[in-house]
Structure 1
């Protein structure tokens, strides 16, 4: 770029004095006067590096006919205009100051596109309206260009009031201990559980990829959300996703074998698959639970008294519970012994083939006593009133199967330890 202006003229008389008066190009204010002399050959030449900004200069002297003369010139402008620029908080206006008459351009640094223009007013101010607004930390440049094509620029960054896009490509990995995905580069990722509690925080890399460690591990289809927060603290909307189901259902409960061993019922995880196996591991029935977790599975072949069956529940992703077992009980208890105490007639003891409730009645059907066997089927309980006169008592046992079964009646005889009444109606004949 040139750094000096050369002023020359041929209208003035040789060897005569010349006055040069310099004026501000914008305000017209007088700046300086310089006096020099025309060369002997009649050529006037004056160089200046002080006035290089388009100043006006008036030359005053004597022309070749000896008459006072003036000549007005505009010096070449080598100086770039000053510029000051700011962008407002909503990203809609760039304003500032520069030289009056200068053209202001706002350009995108990323694309080079001109986003808006204005001409600096006489008071040195300008305002450029942006449409659309810049609200996502865009980098822009404000460029001031004068009439001599000198230019200056100032870099700006638009306000960031735009939340990042919600995270994408979300997945729970590492056996439920981490979440991976993509979001705005260099943003903060927050993972929340269904209650809104934060279970993990991390950051994306320069490519927007992230892996966030979460605690506790999420392994049972838990509903989760992820958000991205940028450096300006703008947070994205929540991105919902679910953990994988890595958790086996609980073992089936409330198991009952009914309908003469042809059906098994119970409860397990809703919408799970129930598989029933016999003692040899052979599948003898399958079914599914309903939305409340109830199931009823047909068995083939029927399971008669004493078999132990096993049941498992498998969820929709293949996790299988530990087995639960149940014993088929389709036979009534058998009373093998029942004895009324021979000394008092007030107690009955005995043996049943399984755990059961024992009831003792007299010949009239009146209950004399009720009791429970222990786990080995042994029972002993009081009779009221005591049976001590050779009475017959009738014993039954009822088991605790889902469909209670009652034994056949076992007959026992009470001891006869009661003396007869004294003789009556006596007479000597």
Structure 2
């Protein structure tokens, strides 16, 4: 603020202020209560000026000047507001008045007592200024013709003198006082004149706008019905040969907003303002930064309208409406765009994981998505077009779920079905070969789901429960039938079959052992009986020193095997190889011809020899 300087005296009305700010900035001036008393717009050089219409309260006053730009500053300056001066508004000193019923009007500090005194106590009247500062006093008279000097004072030590010119048949105007701002219609006038005379009021063009007749006391009243054109006006009151003229100002029509109603919410796409003003004036609507939003012109009836286009920012919006003479502000709340979910649609079946959401909201709004439990599952920010996208990563519990999307002001909901995880076998793969005794299955399913494996007869052969991660395993109990078959996987809701091959049971591996004939023993060159143990099902091969296969057999289910080598084996020391396909060994023997007697017995096992001797004894054959 550059003028007036701090501590200066301000008039109660029409105080002019000047200062500097950021070029094109809107400046607001507020009083100690925070009420806006004036606004201004800084020019290209940053200079601004404003007039405080008032009236301001008498005494010390602190005014705060604020640059409404978000980065703007403010400053506070303290002034003193002068009390209203003592003024006489009528009759003018150039006018004449009658001898009786003389009405004096004027202004003073509201509540002040005004005293009017004449020479030699010919006048002694008092009046109290009303809330608007106006006062009225009546001098009953009669006063003598000629001039009377009046001393007028108030209790704020203001003093002045006023000269009355008295004429016995003068015509006077007691109201309105000269210079008063008049309404455009139904304007009351009053005064005095010679009793019984006709009083005419004419405008500056000589047109009679009202008439009256002075009563027996010389008082008259009249009303100008109007409407009068706004601006300067002059009226002459005539009675007989006497007349008096006064100048006034006719107020222009007030700037009135008819719609929208103050305090109501308006649409962010824009709104149309309507109202009344002085016919022909241009009504301008701006925001608090001075940005022009709309204009309208009052028609011959004073009606105007102006459309403010959108989009308007959500929240409280302040509009400044002015017609060049009058200015007013209008506050309205603009509703934010509600949160809307455009995808997924209600009732849709959704995956448990990675669910895309989309919708619209107020641009810049943060949208929070929660599940039925109230847990926040995703966040998104609406772009400049109000579009938002978010992905719910999950996993979510299977079943019906209601999702809520909220920006803290509005909320949208959608209810959808979360599909359970499908039951899947990950092992074995279709067509795999399984053991008949230790087969097992594994896969994934909805956590907590019980998975049952059944054979072709519907019998449950394995069962497992999916853990918290959805993994399950099921081991087969009992032994499965060899061959091609299929199993059915059932989770209580869905079932499917898998083809597999069941392999025969594999016996435990056993070491290759020759129980007879023992290593180093004497064997026959032909028909030599070998026996031992090995892994059940193993193929036993016996080869001579030249690697020729001389005997083959298979170990039975208990692992026992036996084979007879027909021979002939070469006489003398010989080495035979014995193999089960995994293990091989070489065993040394002494082969002899059986016709030479006893050596043949050496090729037999102890049990075989015993049986042979018993048989020979029974036949009385000498060994």
TM-score range, shorter-chain basis?
Answer: 0.3 to 0.5
Higher RCO (C-alpha 8 Å, min separation 6) = 1
Q: What TM-score do you get using the length of structure 2 for normalisation?
A: 0.30
